[in-house]
């Protein structure tokens, strides 16, 4: 398995991987659709990154870093194909996010998630993310969000 940066021809895979997990647990919201339909305009062009884990030529996992106004990044749109879950790919993707953010001198990483996503919460905590007190809302404001976390770098 190899981790690579986004290429424009991978936009469809980015959308498919994310739509699959979101639909499994929640519903696609207008902001999801806007980001998934235009990852270059919504993530890459404003200074973010998208990573993929590849199994040969097949993208089987992805994650985005969306630039925040304070120089930090929001970790978003992390998805692993159901066929590849339980193999540590979430950890690989999160490490790519942490490494890139540190290389860019970011002060923090921020995550919005849901309390029902136990494995994801465990991963975030293992990397040192802590829950923010109260309902501290960041840039997302998705209906499904009920947990806000941050990792100071």
Q: DSSP for 27-62, please give it.
A: ---HHHHHHHH-HIIIIITTT-EEEEEEETTEEEEE
Whether the predicted pLDDT of 105 surpasses 90: yes
Q: pLDDT of 36-87, one tens digit each?
A: 999 999 999 999 999 999 999 999 999 999 999 999 999 999 999 999 999 9
Full-model pTM: 0.93
The domain that holds 21 is classified in CATH as 3.40.630.30
Question: Worst-scoring range by mean pLDDT, 90-99, 111-120, 135-144?
Answer: 135-144
Tell me how far CA of residue 73 lies from CA of 13, 18, 25, 85, 104, in angstroms. 22, 19, 24, 25, 10
The structural domain count of the chain equals 1
| Backbone dihedral angles phi then psi of residue 120, each to the nearest 5 degrees | -65, -45
> In the structure, what pLDDT confidence band is assigned to residue 140 with cuts at 50, 70 and 90?
low
Give me the pLDDT at residue 1, please. 87
Range of the domain at 25: 2-152
């Amino acid at each position: 398995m190899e981790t690579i940066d986004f290429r424009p021809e991978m936009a469809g895979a980015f959308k498919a991987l994310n739509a699959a997990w979101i639909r499994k647990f929640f519903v696609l919201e207008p902001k999801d659709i806007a980001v998934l339909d235009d990852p270059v305009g919504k993530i890459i062009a404003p200074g973010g990154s998208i990573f993929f884990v590849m199994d040969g030529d097949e993208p089987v996992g992805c994650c985005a870093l969306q630039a925040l106004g304070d120089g930090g990044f929001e970790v978003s749109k992390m998805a692993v194909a159901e066929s590849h879950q339980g193999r540590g790919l979430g950890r690989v993707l999160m490490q790519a996010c942490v490494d890139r953010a540190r290389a860019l001198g970011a002060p923090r990483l921020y995550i919005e998630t849901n309390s029902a996503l136990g494995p994801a919460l465990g991963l975030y905590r293992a990397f040192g993310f802590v829950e923010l007190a109260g309902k501290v809302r960041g840039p997302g404001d998705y209906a499904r969000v009920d947990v806000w976390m941050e990792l100071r770098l």
